[in-house]
Amino acid sequence: MVMDEKVKIGTELDTFSANCSYDAHYKNHTKCWCRGYFRDSCNVIAFTPNSTNRVALKDTGSQPIITVSYLVKEDTD
């Protein structure tokens, strides 16, 4: 899954949303968003269809949408 090229700027406590894309082959697979470069060693933040109290990952069937609420400084890592 690849996040779009748009750069968004936010401040603490704001909400951020981003569209992502993936190959059609993965349409029926679980999607996840993680912090880290390599899938095998990354820290999973959220996955479909679940979400946390600040992070929601929704798959529309053509592209996932990630929404992070109440941004904190650590979200920039």
Number of domains present in the structure of the chain? 1
Per-residue pLDDT at 2 exceeds 50: no
Is the pLDDT assigned to residue 16 strictly greater than 50?
Answer: yes
| CATH number where 34 lies | 2.60.40.10
Enumerate long-range contacts of 54-62, CB under 8 Å, 24 or more apart: 57/31, 57/32, 57/33, 59/31, 61/27
Q: Which domain holds residue 44?
A: 2-76
Q: Which residue matches tokens 């059609």?
A: 24
Give the pLDDT confidence of 17-69 residue by residue, as tens digits: 777 777 878 888 888 777 777 778 888 877 777 767 777 777 777 777 767 76
